[in-house]
């Protein structure tokens, strides 16, 4: 990062302001001059500056007001006040309001340059911290949980309610709906945000390895166990442990997990004495745990211990109104990743996106967009950029002449059951009306209540299918 600074000089003494500007220009800084207090205040509100130099006594606006505006609009900027009166009380007040230093007239240009140069390290650190905060907020804060529709707004309300607590939270959602992102949002916006966020996929390991990964082992606990090893619980001490795919955890380990939650302690494999841990547990699953409890596949006591807080993430097909927002969000991220300007999306592709069911949910959308961004050569994501094996490609091809999606498309449905055809055209109608059930029903020539009933039936079918029933 360059040490060149963006400097604003505010002084109604035009000659002095120009002299300061010239002196700093020679050091390679980008200097802007304002010769009235009001024009300076306007620039503070409208532009970005690293350093602001302002006179304390001006005819139309005093320097203290400028200091306040800098602190309001440019929190990371350094502000210095200039006075020709040696008014210590006013200078002290300026520093109380946020000024870093004050200078007396006549200005020693060598001293001025030295003071401004010292600002470079502070500004560099402030920029770095600001960028880090932006990245954290975007990826792990609420801002990363993208969605403006009613279902995602409900999700955000739940996350904001649970985040300030240390209560266990159980996140339900299909694969690809963003369960880990929601868990990170809970952690990052909670009291443990400065501690570890440890993840573990309960479906990725067999029972023995899962036990070792979660709880650790003592030296010689089993063949090959050389030296003691901490488990994920101990690594997460003071922070958060995210247990993904909790529904796949063997029943035998569920008892150990329950004990850890209730007693705040874990027992390593081969150990006699427990280890105290302070861990917030967030769990997630794509399975119907209530059904698993009834079938004896998941402990009832553990289920109720985990579901102190519950967040249900909707499938992407259930919140199609968020597709444009999600698309733009991912394109911005992917543009930064691949050094490309955010791409425009051709209308036929947007319609194909709206007409596709997205079984892989948000993850599938991002993967499709990433493939298209990599292939794109002209700045517009068109049909030629859409991989042939991508789901939306089949929707695009089903429209008239393969040029788009509409109520007259669907040649691929010939020979399909009537219920499949009904669902196809109902979803297309909803896509074309941006989720407006009344308008969609009119397009279909049916009553809104009929459409609503069918949507509920299809949702239940999807839920049952996801639960394996």
Question: Hey, what CATH topology would domain 318-387 get?
Answer: Helicase, Ruva Protein; domain 3 (1.10.8)
Q: What is the band of 85 on the pLDDT scale with cuts at 50, 70, 90?
A: low
Residue 10 sits at φ, ψ, to 5 deg, of: -120, 115
Q: What is the pLDDT of residue 397?
A: 66
Give the tens place of pLDDT for each residue, 405-443.
444 445 455 566 777 777 877 877 777 776 778 877 877
Residue 138 has pLDDT above 50, yes or no: no
> Each residue of 337-372: pLDDT tens digit?
888 876 788 888 888 888 888 989 999 999 999 999
**Distance between CA 360 and CA 399 in Å, rounded?**
22
Pick the closest to residue 182 from 361, 369, 350 (CA basis). 361
Residue 132 pLDDT > 60, yes or no?
A: no
Averaged over 315-333, what is the pLDDT? Answer: 88
* Residue extents of the structural domains in the chain: 6-137, 142-314, 318-387, 406-469
pTM: 0.58
Distance CA 23, CA 7 (A): 12
46 versus 186: the higher-pLDDT residue is 186
What token pair was written down for 23? 């002196």
Report the CATH architecture of 6-137: 3-Layer(aba) Sandwich (3.40)
Residue whose entry in the numeric block shows the structure tokens 């051709």:
346
Higher pLDDT, 146 or 32: 32
Across 157-166, 405-414, 424-433, 458-467, which has the greatest mean pLDDT? 157-166
User: In this predicted structure, what is the pLDDT of residue 182?
Assistant: 93
Q: How far is CA 190 from the centre of its chain?
A: 15
Domains 142-314 and 406-469 agree in fold: no
385 vs 285: which has the higher pLDDT: 285
H or E element in which residue 200 lies: strand 197-201
Give 52-73 pLDDT, tens digit per residue. Answer: 999 988 999 988 999 999 988 8
What is the arithmetic mean of pLDDT over 160-181?
Answer: 94
- Is the pLDDT at 315 greater than 70, yes or no? yes
Q: What is the pLDDT of residue 460?
A: 81
The answer to whether 232 and 213 have CB atoms below 8 angstroms apart is yes
Give the separation between CA 333 and CA 339, rounded to whole angstroms: 10
Pick from 136, 248, 133: which is nearest to 184 by CA?
136
pLDDT at 106 over 60: yes
Element containing residue 103 per DSSP (H, E) = strand 101-104
What average pLDDT is seen over the chain?
A: 84
Instruction: Return the higher-pLDDT residue of 128 and 258.
Output: 258
Q: What is the pLDDT of residue 462?
A: 74
262 — pLDDT class (breaks 50, 70, 90): very high
Q: Does residue 402 carry a pLDDT above 60? A: no
CA proximity to 151, closest of 351, 323, 353:
323
Q: How many angstroms separate the CA atoms of 40 and 36, rounded?
A: 6
Of 420 and 252, the one with more pLDDT: 252
Q: What is the pLDDT of residue 17?
A: 92
What sign for the dihedral angle of Cα 89, 92, 97, 99?
positive
Residue 100 scores a pLDDT above 90: no
Taking residues 322-328, report their average pLDDT.
88
Could you tell me where the DSSP H helices lie in 144-299? 150-162, 179-188, 207-215, 232-235, 251-263, 289-294
Level-2 CATH architecture, domain 406-469: Orthogonal Bundle (1.10)
Q: What is the structure's pLDDT at 401?
A: 37
Residue 79, pLDDT > 50, answer yes
Q: Is the dihedral of CA 326, 329, 330, 331 positive or negative?
A: positive
Is the pLDDT assigned to residue 237 strictly greater than 80? yes
Q: Which CATH number is 142-314's, of 3.40.50.720, 3.40.50.300, 1.20.1440.130, 3.40.50.150?
A: 3.40.50.300
Name the more confident of 147 and 320: 320
Dist. CA 137–CA 145, nearest whole Å: 10
């Amino acid at each position: 990062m360059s040490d060149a600074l963006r400097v604003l000089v505010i002084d109604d003494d035009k000659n002095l302001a120009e002299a300061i500007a010239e002196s700093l220009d020679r050091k390679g800084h980008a200097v802007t001059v304002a010769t009235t207090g009001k024009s300076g205040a306007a620039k503070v509100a409208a532009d970005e500056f690293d350093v602001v130099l302002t006179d304390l006594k001006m005819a139309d606006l005093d320097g203290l007001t400028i200091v306040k505006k800098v602190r309001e609009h440019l929190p990371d900027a350094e502000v210095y006040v200039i006075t020709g009166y040696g008014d210590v009380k006013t200078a002290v007040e300026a520093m109380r309001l946020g000024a870093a230093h004050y200078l007396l007239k006549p200005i020693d240009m060598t001293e001025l340059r030295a003071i401004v140069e010292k600002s470079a390290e502070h500004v560099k650190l402030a920029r770095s911290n600001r960028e880090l905060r932006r990245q954290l907020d975007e990826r792990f804060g609420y801002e990363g949980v993208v969605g403006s529709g009613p279902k995602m707004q409900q999700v955000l309300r739940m996350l904001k309610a649970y985040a300030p607590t240390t209560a266990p939270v159980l996140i339900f959602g299909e694969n690809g709906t963003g369960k880990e992102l929601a868990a990170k949002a809970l952690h990052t916006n909670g009291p443990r945000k400065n501690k570890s966020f440890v993840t573990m996929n309960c479906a990725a390991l067999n029972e023995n390895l899962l036990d070792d990964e979660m709880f650790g082992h003592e030296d010689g606990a089993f063949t090959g166990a050389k030296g003691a090893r901490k488990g994920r619980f101990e690594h997460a001490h003071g922070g958060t442990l995210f247990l993904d795919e909790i529904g796949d955890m063997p029943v035998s380990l569920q008892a150990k997990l329950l004990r850890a939650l209730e007693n705040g302690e874990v027992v390593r494999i081969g150990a006699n004495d427990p280890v105290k841990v302070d861990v917030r547990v967030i769990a997630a699953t794509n399975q119907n745990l209530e059904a698993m409890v009834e079938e004896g596949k998941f402990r009832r006591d553990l289920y109720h211990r985990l579901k102190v807080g519950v967040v249900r993430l909707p499938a992407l097909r259930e919140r199609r109104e968020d597709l444009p927002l999600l698309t733009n969000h991912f394109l911005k991220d992917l543009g930064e990743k691949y050094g490309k300007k955010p791409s425009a999306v051709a209308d036929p592709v947007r319609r194909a996106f709206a007409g596709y069911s997205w079984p892989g949910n948000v993850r599938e959308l991002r993967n499709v967009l990433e493939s298209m961004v990599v292939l794109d050569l002209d700045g517009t994501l068109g049909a030629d950029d859409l991989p042939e094996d991508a789901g939306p490609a089949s929707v695009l091809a089903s429209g008239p002449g393969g040029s788009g999606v509409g109520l007259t498309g669907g040649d691929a449905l010939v020979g399909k059951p009537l219920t499949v055809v009904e669902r196809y055209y109902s979803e297309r109608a909803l896509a074309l009306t941006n989720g407006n059930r009344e308008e969609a029903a009119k397009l279909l020539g049916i009553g809104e209540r009929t459409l609503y009933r069918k949507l509920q039936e299809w949702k239940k079918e999807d839920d049952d299918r996801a639960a394996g029933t």
